[in-house]
């Protein structure tokens, strides 16, 4: 088995001059000379500095006006310097990828996004496939034991998944992972249990029928576990809505936020869009936002 060393650039290090610094710190921590793959974690930048989750007095993230295109150019420099073999992105929507591709001299090899039977990402998968970008599927099992997910529906317990597990004589996790493989994604299930680690890799000796893949596709309900701001207090969401009503044209901004967010991975629910309104509206003057809204006007 080949070991692949992957690192991920956090939101407070998006400025060009900080990218190399962050990667070198990762290399030093991991005692490596280079990574195989380095990713931009999110298409949003946070205020630079020591605090990794900088928030204002209203518990809202403090954003930084760094364009992810600038970050991408710095990532390319890391490839040139031999600090990483490949570079990619995470949590990017189709529009943001499009923006990168316009300027990229090194293409992103992957886009790591949440993907499981309740968030199938079929349109984003197709979009990336056309551009030769592999989708890495995170939370592929629906992150069953995550605290953030305590009240979320669990794909592994879905009656259809359970039925298919019986039909193929496999575990529900194996059915889900096989489904993701057949969609051409690279699922990255996490397990700290040796038996489950083995189970999760034992998925290359069977194939789901086209009908069964379609049946799992139909389970999609746009349910997102990882929204980055899952830990934002409800109060801050109310603040955002108040800000919108006081200082902006709420309907327009809200519409653009939702449409932009839907546009992002094409399968988001309205609830998710509302949760993302904070980031989107705070971000509306940044180049990232302009990239997105430009597409919406087309
Ligand atoms: N790029 C991003 O923004 C981002 C965001 C979130 C997550 N990720 C990455 O995605 C990876 C997976 O995410 P995740 O851990 O949240 O979700 P996940 O892989 O869907 O779920 C992991 C959970 O499932 C359990 N599990 C593993 N195999 C199982 C099996 N065969 N049957 C039943 N339960 C099983 C694990 O428990 P046991 O350990 O007890 O087996 C663990 O609690 C992680 O490496 C994470 O770093 C990336």
Same domain, 201 and 244: no
Same domain, 246 and 131: no
Ligand 1 centroid to Cα of residue 113, in Å, is: 13
Confidence of residue 226 (pLDDT cuts 50, 70, 90): confident
Which pLDDT belongs to residue 71? Answer: 98
Domain boundary among 203, 232, 261: 232
Domain boundary among 212, 232, 252: 232
Same domain, 138 and 278: no
Here the CATH number for the domain that contains residue 144 is 3.20.20.100
Q: Where are the alpha helices (DSSP H) in 42-171?
A: 68-80, 94-103, 122-130, 159-168
Higher pLDDT, 11 or 246: 11
**The pLDDT of residue 295 is above 60:** no
Q: Which of 21-25, 132-136, 157-161, 257-261 comes out lowest in average pLDDT?
A: 257-261
Which pLDDT belongs to residue 146? Answer: 75
| Structure tokens that stand for 114 in this block | 């949440």
Q: Whose CA is nearest to atom 39 of ligand 1?
A: 191
Same domain, 198 and 237: no
Q: Are strands 63-64 and 45-46 parallel, antiparallel or unpaired?
A: antiparallel
Q: Which of 9-18, 136-145, 250-259 comes out lowest in average pLDDT?
A: 250-259
Which pLDDT belongs to residue 1? Answer: 72
Is 282 among the domain residues?
Answer: yes
Which pLDDT belongs to residue 2? Answer: 80
**What φ, ψ does residue 109 adopt, rounded to 5°?**
-80, -25
Q: Whose CA is nearest to atom 43 of ligand 1?
A: 145
Same domain, 139 and 272: no
Same domain, 272 and 145: no
Is 1 among the domain residues?
Answer: no
Q: Are 97 and 133 in contact (CB under 8 A)?
A: yes
Stretch 195-220: mean pLDDT, rounded? Answer: 98
- Count: domains in the chain: 2
Which pLDDT belongs to residue 298? Answer: 24
Q: Which of 23-37, 39-53, 142-156 comes out lowest in average pLDDT?
A: 142-156
**The pLDDT of residue 225 is above 50:** yes
**The pLDDT of residue 283 is above 60:** no
* DSSP assignments along 164-175, one per residue: HHHHHTS-HHHH
Ligand 1 centroid to Cα of residue 240, in Å, is: 31
Confidence of residue 229 (pLDDT cuts 50, 70, 90): low
Stretch 98-113: mean pLDDT, rounded? Answer: 97
Ligand 1 centroid to Cα of residue 146, in Å, is: 8
Q: Whose CA is nearest to atom 48 of ligand 1?
A: 138
Stretch 87-115: mean pLDDT, rounded? Answer: 97
pLDDT more than 90, % of the chain:
69
Domain boundary among 211, 232, 253: 232
pLDDT more than 70, % of the chain:
74
Give 211-214 contacts, CB < 8 A, sequence gap 24+: 212/164, 212/167, 213/179, 213/182, 213/183
Measured distance CA(215)–CA(160) in Å, rounded = 8
Same domain, 89 and 215: yes
Measured distance CA(27)–CA(34) in Å, rounded = 7
**What φ, ψ does residue 117 adopt, rounded to 5°?**
-60, -20
Residue 28 per-residue DSSP state: H
> Residue 34: which residues within 8 A CB-CB, separation 6 or more?
5, 27, 82, 83, 84, 85
Instruction: Give the closest residue to 96 by CA, choosing from 261, 284, 276, 279.
Output: 261
- Tell which one of 138, 224, 231 to mutate to probe ligand 1, the residue whose CB is within 8 A of the most ligand atoms: 138
Same domain, 82 and 177: yes
Residue 156 per-residue DSSP state: G
Ligand 1 centroid to Cα of residue 189, in Å, is: 5
Mean residue pLDDT of the chain comes to 81
Range of the domain at 87: 6-232
Q: Whose CA is nearest to atom 36 of ligand 1?
A: 191
Q: Whose CA is nearest to atom 29 of ligand 1?
A: 196
Task: Provide the whole-model pTM.
Answer: 0.82
- Tell which one of 38, 44, 171, 190 to mutate to probe ligand 1, the residue whose CB is within 8 A of the most ligand atoms: 190
**Cα distance from N-terminal residue to C-terminal residue, the chain:** 47
Atom number in ligand 1 closest to CA 190: 19
Which pLDDT belongs to residue 145? Answer: 82
SS3 39: strand
Model pLDDT for residues 64-94, shown as the tens digit of each residue: 999 999 999 999 999 999 999 999 999 999 9
Residue that is written with structure tokens 């309907």 in the block:
251
Confidence of residue 150 (pLDDT cuts 50, 70, 90): low
Q: Whose CA is nearest to atom 8 of ligand 1?
A: 138
**The pLDDT of residue 253 is above 50:** no
Same domain, 250 and 176: no
């Amino acid at each position: 088995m080949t070991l692949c060393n992957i690192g991920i650039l956090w939101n407070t290090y998006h400025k060009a001059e900080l990218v190399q610094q962050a990667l070198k710190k990762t290399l030093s921590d991991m005692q490596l000379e280079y990574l195989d793959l380095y990713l931009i974690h999110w298409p949003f930048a946070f205020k630079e500095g020591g605090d990794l989750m900088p928030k204002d007095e209203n518990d809202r993230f403090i954003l930084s006006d760094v364009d992810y295109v600038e970050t991408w150019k710095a990532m390319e420099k890391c490839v040139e310097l031999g600090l990483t073999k490949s570079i990619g992105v995470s949590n990017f929507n189709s529009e943001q990828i499009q923006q990168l591709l316009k300027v990229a001299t090194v293409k992103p090899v992957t886009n790591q996004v949440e993907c499981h039977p309740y968030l199938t990402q079929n349109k984003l998968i197709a979009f990336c496939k056309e551009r030769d970008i592999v989708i890495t599927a995170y939370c592929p099992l629906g992150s069953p034991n995550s605290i953030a997910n305590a009240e979320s529906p669990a794909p592994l317990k879905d009656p259809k998944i359970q039925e298919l597990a019986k039909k193929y004589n496999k575990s529900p996790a194996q059915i889900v992972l096989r489904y993701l493989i057949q969609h051409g994604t690279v699922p990255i299930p996490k397990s700290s249990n040796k038996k489950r680690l083995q189970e999760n890799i034992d998925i290359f000796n069977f194939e789901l029928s086209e009908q069964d893949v379609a049946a799992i596709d139909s389970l999609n309900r746009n349910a997102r576990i990882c929204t980055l701001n899952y830990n934002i207090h409800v109060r801050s969401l109310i603040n955002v809505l108040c800000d919108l009503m006081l200082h902006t044209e709420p309907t327009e901004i809200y519409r653009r936020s939702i449409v932009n967010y839907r546009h992002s991975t094409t399968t988001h629910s309205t609830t998710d869009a509302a949760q993302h309104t904070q980031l989107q509206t705070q971000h509306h003057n940044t180049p990232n936002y302009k990239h997105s809204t430009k597409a919406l006007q087309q």
